[in-house]
Amino acid sequence: MLNNETLLTQLEALFPSDLSNADFSFDLLTVEVESSKLRTLIATLQKDDSLGFAFLTLIGGVHYPEDVDREFAVVYHIHSWKHKIRLRLKAFLPLSNPSIDSICDIYPSANWMERETYDFYGIIFTNHPDLRRILNEDSMDYFPLRKEYTLEDGTREDKDDRFFGRF
Amino acid sequence: MGKIDDEKVINGEGYQLTTLDKAIGLARANSVWPLPFATSCCGIEFMATMGSAYDMSRFGMERLSFSPRQADLLIVAGTISKKLGPVLKQVYEQMAEPKWVLSVGACASSGGIFDTYSVLQGIDRIIPVDVYVPGCPPRPEQIIDGVMNIHKLVKKESIRRRYSAEYKDLMKEYKIELKEDNVK
């Protein structure tokens, strides 16, 4: 049975130069992965029967506008039912080229999650079979969860700012 | 309405005089077929309004129409997202004349608390609205009050409303096309 420490040891043995900032907060092993190696790493973990990472829990995005050349993070949670352990992987991408390899062919469930991350953050998943918006209207011309856009609807004039925490 | 009360001349069951507009308005107002376009908590209040405690069938409204083709009144109850906007407009366009719209609750009327990128800031941005019901969500009494106001409108509406210049201008403002067979 794996635990967070032994899992990290195994990961470091497999990818000695691509991992950094390992963290054990919330009893959940979090590892930062070089974005170019993330796809290979996930493929290795998924195919390795002794690890048994058969389930992709989620893919999500984060925007850190102050972090130059690391503005976007893509977060992957994968789950090993065999060892009852979860693993969180983070890959950081620059604003100038927010793109990362798609993992749709490894986990088919990644398809819609990658579309959602694209929809809200504009992160490009290369080789995704159908990368278009999934939740927002197709005519939307921006990525609403990027922190460069205001949360409120700018087209509204008659709502009183005091009731919405804006002064 | 006028009644001839000279009993010497009229001896029988009697009759009443009225204008066709008023007679038809009365008939329409007492048999409005609503189409509930309910998306959230206001829809639950609408269900309570339809239930036996408040009983909308008292007003000839027990027949809900889930097809826009047979509906007279579009009741929009709940938050309408921008993505849902074109669907709502299509439902409105599919309704046959004459038609009325009741906007139930803060969200349908103005976007409500959802002042955000994904929510339509009031359905009057895409379709014309006859009566607004405030509240978050409004109580069934308020929805009934809104329906009563719709009834007042229906009673005094001209049966030739859709041919009037005001109505055509309104539809043009909302970029809703009036079909040729509807408008002479």
Exposure of B55 by Cβ count < 10 A (0-12 exposed, 13-18 middle, 19+ buried)? Answer: middle
What is A4-153's CATH number?
3.30.460.80
| Mean pLDDT on B21-47 | 92
Provide, rounded to the nearest whole percent, the portion of chain B with pLDDT above 90: 59
Domain borders along chain A are 4-153
pLDDT of residue A9: 92
Nearest by CB to residue B116, choosing from A137, A140, A151, is: A151
Greatest CA span in chain B, whole angstroms?
73
Is 60 exceeded by the pLDDT of residue B183?
A: no
| B-chain residues near A132 (CB < 8 A) | none
Greatest CA span in chain A, whole angstroms?
60
The minimum CA-CA distance between B160 and chain A, rounded to whole Å, is 35
Low-confidence residues of chain A: pLDDT under 70: 154-158, 160-161, 163-167
Beta-strand pair A19-23/A29-33:
antiparallel
Q: Residue B4 — pLDDT band, cuts 50, 70, 90?
A: low
- Residue A52: which region, alpha, beta or left (left: phi > 0; alpha: psi -120 to 50)? left
Contact criterion met (CB below 8 Å) for B108 and B76: yes
Cα A120 vs. chain centroid, distance in angstroms? Answer: 12
The minimum CA-CA distance between B110 and chain A, rounded to whole Å, is 9
Spatial separation of the C-alpha atoms in residues B68 and B83, rounded to whole Å: 19
Helix or strand or coil: residue A76?
Answer: strand
Complex ipTM value: 0.75
Phi and psi at residue A53, in whole multiples of 5°? Answer: -80, 80
What is B2-173's CATH number?
3.40.50.12280
Which pLDDT tens digit goes with each residue over A31-77? Answer: 999 999 999 999 999 999 888 899 999 999 999 999 999 999 999 99
Spatial separation of the C-alpha atoms in residues A114 and A102, rounded to whole Å: 8
pLDDT of residue B178: 79
A·B CB contacts under 8 A = 33
Spatial separation of the C-alpha atoms in residues A92 and A71, rounded to whole Å: 7
| B-chain residues near A137 (CB < 8 A) | 82-83, 85
Indicate the DSSP class of residue B119. Answer: B
pLDDT of residue B42: 93
Q: What stretch of H or E contains A110?
A: helix A110-121
pTM for this predicted structure: 0.81
Spatial separation of the C-alpha atoms in residues A125 and B41, rounded to whole Å: 37
Residue type, A24: F
Domain borders along chain B are 2-173
Which pLDDT tens digit goes with each residue over B29-41? Answer: 999 999 999 999 9
Q: What stretch of H or E contains B131?
A: strand B131-133
Is 50 exceeded by the pLDDT of residue B184?
A: no
Is 90 exceeded by the pLDDT of residue B73?
A: yes
Q: Pull the structure tokens for residue B173.
A: 């403002």
Mean per-residue pLDDT of chain A: 90
Is 90 exceeded by the pLDDT of residue B114?
A: no
pLDDT of residue B15: 72
CA distance readout (Å), A150 to A65, A116, A122, A146? 14, 19, 16, 9
Cβ-defined contact of B121 to A144 (cutoff 8 Å): no
pLDDT of residue A33: 94
Is 90 exceeded by the pLDDT of residue B2?
A: no
Which pLDDT tens digit goes with each residue over B154-166? Answer: 998 888 888 888 9
- Concatenated DSSP letters of B70-95: G-SEEEEES--BTTTHHHHHHHHHHS
Spatial separation of the C-alpha atoms in residues B20 and B26, rounded to whole Å: 10
Q: Pull the structure tokens for residue B147.
A: 């329906």
